[in-house]
Structure 1
Amino acid sequence: MAASVQGDRTGNLPAEANEFIGRRLELAEIAVLLGTARLVTLTGPGGVGKSRLALRAAHAAKPAFRGGTWLVELSELRNPDLLTNTVAQATRLTEQTLRPLLGAVCEHLAGPPLLLVLDTCEHVLAECARVVQELLAQVPELRVLATSRQALGVPGEQLLAVAPLPLGERDDAVALFAARAAAAVPSFALTEANRPDAAAVCARLDGIPLALELAAVRLRGLPLERLLEGLGSRFDLLVSSARPQPARHQTLRTAIGWSHELCTPLERLLWARLSVFVGGWDVEAAEFVCHGGPLSAEDVLALLASLSEKSIVTRDGEGVAGRYRMLDTVRSFGAEWLAGLGEEQAVRRRHRDYFRWIARQGEAEWLGPGQRMWAERLTAEHANLRLAVEECLATPEPETALELTGSLWYFWFACGFAEEGRGCLERALRRASEGGGPEHTLAVWAHRLVTLVPDDLEAAESVSTAYVWLAEERHLPVPALPLTGASLAVRGESARSAVLYGSTRQAPAGDGGAEFFQLMTLALQAYLLAGQAAFERCASVAGRLRQECQKRGELWMRAWGDFFVSLAAIGLGRPDEALRPAREALTAKWRVHDRLGAAAVADLLVAAQAARGEDELAARLLGVSRSLWRTAGLPQLGRPDTTVFHREYERRLRASLGDARFAEAVREGGELGPEAAIGLALGGDGAGEG
Structure 2
Amino acid sequence: MAASVQGGRIGNLPAEANAFVGRRLELAEIAGLLGAERLVTLTGPGGVGKSRLALRAAHAARAGFPGGAWLVELSELRDPDLLTNTVAQATRLTEQTLRPLLQAVCEHLSGAPVLLVLDTCEHVLDECARIAQELLASVPELRILATSRQPLGVPGEHLLTVAPLPLGERDDAVALFTARAAAAVPSFALTDANRAHVAAVCARLDGIPLALELAAVRLRGFSLHRLLEGLDSRFDLLVSPARPRLARHQTLRTAIGWSHELCTPLERLLWARLSVFTGGWDVEAAEFVCHGGPLDAEEILALLASLTEKSIVTRDDEGAAVRYRMLDTVRSFGAEWLTGLGEAEAVRSRHRDYFRWIARQGEAEWLGPGQRMWAERLTAEHANLRLAIEECMTAREPETALELTGTLWFFWFACGFAEEGRTYLERALRRARAGGGPEHTLAVWAHRLVTVVADDLEAAESVSAAYVWLAEERRLPVPALPLTGASLAVRGESARSAVLYGSVRQAPAGDGGAEFFQLLTLAVQAYLLAGQAAFERCAAVAERLRAECAKRGELWMGAWGDFFVSLAGIGLGHPDEAVLPAREALAAKWRVHDRIGAAAVTDLLVVAQASRGEEELAARLLGISRRLWHAAGLPQLGRPDLSVFHREYERRLRAALGDACFTEAVRKGRELGPDAALALALGDTADAPGP
Name the TM tier (shorter chain).
over 0.9
Partners of 1:397 and 1:245 in 2: how far apart? 50
Matching residue of 2:446 = 446
8 Å contact kept, 2:204–2:231: yes
Contact 2:356–2:388 (CA under 8 A) maintained in structure 1 = yes
| Alignment match, 1:162 | 162
Give the residue type in structure 2 aligned to 1:503. Answer: G
Q: How far is the alpha carbon of 1:244 from its aligned partner? A: 11
Shift of residue 511, structure 1, vs aligned partner: 2.0
Instruction: Provide the C-alpha distance between the structure 2 equivalents of 1:312 and 1:436, rounded to a whole number of angstroms.
Output: 47
Is 1:12 the counterpart of 2:20? The answer is no
Partners of 1:242 and 1:376 lie apart in 2 by 55
Is structure 2 residue 47 aligned with structure 1 residue 47?
Answer: yes
Q: Which amino acid aligns with 1:456?
A: D
Cα distance change on mapping 1:61 and 1:318 into 2, 3 Å: closer
Paired position in structure 2 for 1:535:
535
| Counterpart Cα distance in 2 of 1:57 and 1:348 | 37
Deviation of 1:3 after TM superposition, in Å, equals 4.5
CA distance in 1, matches of 2:297, 2:320: 15
Report the alpha carbon displacement of residue 675 of structure 1 after superposing the two structures with TM.
1.5
Are the structure 2 counterparts of residues 167 and 481 from structure 1 closer, same or farther at C-alpha, using a change threshold of 3 Å?
A: same
What is the rounded CA distance, in whole Å, between the counterparts of 1:495 and 1:379 in structure 2?
A: 38
- In structure 1, C-alpha distance between the alignment counterparts of 2:313 and 2:442, rounded to whole Å: 38
AA in 2 matched with 1:441 = T
1:305-357 CA-to-partner distances (Å, cap 9, x unmatched) read 00000000000017981000000000000000000000000000000000000
Partners of 1:640 and 1:39 lie apart in 2 by 38
Which residue in 1 is equivalent to 2:330?
330
Check conservation: 2:117, 2:145, Cα contact below 8 A: yes
Query: 2-side partners of 1:642 and 1:567: how far apart?
Result: 15
- TM superposition shift of 1:6: 14
Return the letter of the residue paired with 2:553: G
Give, as a single letter, the amino acid of the residue that structure 2 aligns with 1:557: M
- Whole-Å separation in 2 of the counterparts to 1:640 and 1:524: 19
SS of residue in 2 equivalent to 1:18: coil
SS in structure 2 of the partner of residue 587 of structure 1? helix
How far apart are the structure 1 equivalents of 2:520 and 2:494? Answer: 20
Give 1:485 shift: 2.3
Contact 1:455 1:488 in 2 (8 A): no
Partner of 1:56: 56
1:626, 1:638 within 8 Å by CA — same for their partners in 2?
no
Change in Cα spacing, 1:244 to 1:478, as seen in structure 2 (3 Å) is: farther
Shift of 1:99: 2.4
Residues 153-173 of structure 1 deviation map (CA, whole Å, 9 limit, x = unaligned)? 000000000000000000000
- Report the CA distance between 1:662 and its aligned residue: 0.3
Q: Which has the higher contact order (CA 8 A, sep 6+)?
A: 1
> Residue 338 of structure 1 aligns to which amino acid in structure 2?
L
Kindly indicate whether the alpha-carbon contact (under 8 Å) linking 1:538 and 1:565 is maintained by their aligned counterparts in 2.
yes
User: CA offsets per residue over residues 633-688 of structure 1, 9 Å max, x none?
Assistant: 53787999992111111111011111100010011111222111111111133649
Q: Deviations over 1:77-103 (max 9, x none)?
A: 001110000000000011112322111
Compute the displacement of 1:456 (Å): 1.0
SS, match of residue 557 in structure 1: helix
1:97·1:633 contact (CA, 8 Å) conserved in 2?
Answer: yes
Deviation at 1:591, TM superposition (A): 1.2
Q: SS of the counterpart of 1:42? A: strand
CA contact (8 A) 1:620 1:665 kept: yes
Q: Secondary structure at the match of 1:487?
A: helix
Rounded to whole Å, the distance in 2 between the matches of 1:14 and 1:377 is 19
Matched, 1:93 2:106: no
Aligned residue in 2 for 1:358:
358
- 1:415-463 deviation line (CA, Å, top 9, x unaligned): 0000000000000000111101010000000000000101111111000
In the alignment, the residues of structure 2 paired with residue 649 and residue 539 of structure 1 have an alpha-carbon distance, to the nearest angstrom, of 24
| Residue identity in the other structure for 2:567 | L
- On the 8 A contact 1:4/1:108 being kept in 2, the answer is no
1:487 is matched with 487
Give 1:239 shift.
2.6
Deviation at 1:595, TM superposition (A): 1.1
Q: Report 1:85-234 matches (<5 A).
A: 85-234=85-234
Structure 1 residue 365: Cα displacement? 0.2
CA distance in 2, matches of 1:622, 1:319: 32
- Unaligned 5+ residue runs, structure 2? none
What is the deviation of 1:559? 0.4
Match of 1:186, SS state, is coil
Aligned CA distance change for structure 1 residues 433 and 640 (closer, same or farther; 3 Å): closer
Contact 2:266 2:295 in 1 (8 A): yes
Give 1:503's aligned residue.
Answer: 502
Task: Tell me the amino acid that sits aligned with residue 458 of structure 1.
Answer: E
Give the distance between the partners of 1:243 and 1:124, measured in 2 at CA: 33
Partner deviation per Cα, 1:82-139 (whole Å, 9 max, x = no partner)? 0000000000011112322111111111110000000000000000001111111111
In 1, distance between residues paired with 2:652 and 2:268? Answer: 68
- Does the Cα contact within 8 Å between 2:44 and 2:161 map onto a contact in 1? yes
**How far has the Cα of 1:507 moved from its partner?**
4.0
Mapped pair 1:394 → 2:391: no
Distance change in 2, residues 1:13/1:639 (3 Å): farther
The residue correspondences of 1:545-560 to structure 2 (distance < 5 A) are: 545-560=545-560
Distance of aligned partners of 1:561 and 1:571 in 2 relative to their CA distance in 1, 3 Å threshold: same
The structure-2 alpha-carbon separation of the partners of 1:216 and 1:47, relative to structure 1 and needing over 3 Å to count, comes to: same
**2:237 alignment counterpart:** 237
Asked whether the equivalents of residues 5 and 673 of structure 2 are also in contact (C-alpha less than 8 Å), the reply is no
AA aligned to 1:556 is: W
Hey, what's the Cα distance between the residues in 1 that align with 2:232 and 2:589? Answer: 58
Instruction: Quote the residue 2:579 is aligned against.
Output: 579
- Whole-angstrom distance in 1 between the partners of 2:583 and 2:352: 39
1-structure distance, mates of 2:359, 2:66: 39
The 2-side partners of 1:394 and 1:78 are apart by 14
Shift of residue 549, structure 1, vs aligned partner: 0.4
Task: Kindly indicate whether the alpha-carbon contact (under 8 Å) linking 1:204 and 1:231 is maintained by their aligned counterparts in 2.
Answer: yes
Give the root-mean-square deviation of aligned CA atoms: 2.2
Equivalent residues of 2:239, 2:246 under 8 A apart: no
Distance 1:500 1:106, change over 3 A: farther
Aligned partner of 2:556: which letter?
W
Offset of residue 625 of structure 1: 1.1
Maintained 8 Å contact 2:181/2:188: yes
Residue 384 (structure 1) aligns with: 384
Query: Aligned residue for 2:544?
Result: 544
CA distance in 2, matches of 1:246, 1:346: 35
Whether the 8 Å CA contact 2:482–2:517 is kept in 1: the answer is: no
Whether the aligned pair in 2 keeps the contact of 1:4 and 1:93 (CA below 8 Å) is: no
CA distance in 2 between partners of 1:17 and 1:684 (Å)? 30
**8 Å Cα contact 2:500/2:521 also seen in 1:** no
User: Which residue of 2 is the match for residue 602 of structure 1?
Assistant: 602
Corresponding residue SS for 1:164: coil
User: Do 1:640 and 1:650's aligned partners in 2 also have CA atoms closer than 8 Å?
Assistant: no
Change in 2 beyond 3 A, CA 1:520/1:246: farther
Distance 2:8 2:397 in 1: 45
Change in Cα spacing, 1:639 to 1:397, as seen in structure 2 (3 Å) is closer
**What is the CA–CA distance in structure 1 between the aligned matches of 2:151 and 2:588, rounded to whole Å?**
44
Counterpart amino acid of residue 206 in structure 1 = D
Contact residue 425 and residue 443 of structure 1 kept, 8 A: yes
- Matched with 2:315 is 315
Q: Which residue of 2 aligns with 1:288?
A: 288
Is contact 2:39-2:144 (8 Å) kept?
A: yes
Distance 2:536 2:621 in 1: 27
Tell me the matched-pair count: 687
Offset at 1:488? 3.7
Q: Residues 318, 305 of structure 1: CA spacing in aligned structure 2 closer, same or farther, 3 A cutoff?
A: farther
Aligned-pair identity in percent equals 83
Q: String of CA shifts for 1:364-393, please: whole Å, max 9, x gaps.
A: 000000000000000000000000000000
Structure 2 contact 414–594 (Cα < 8 Å) conserved: yes
Aligned to 2:592: 592
TM-score, with length taken from structure 2: 0.96
SS at structure 2 position matched to 1:240: coil
- Aligned CA distance change for structure 1 residues 296 and 244 (closer, same or farther; 3 Å): farther
Give unmatched runs, 5+ long, in structure 1.
none
Letter in 1 for 2:278: V
Amino acid at match of 1:508: A
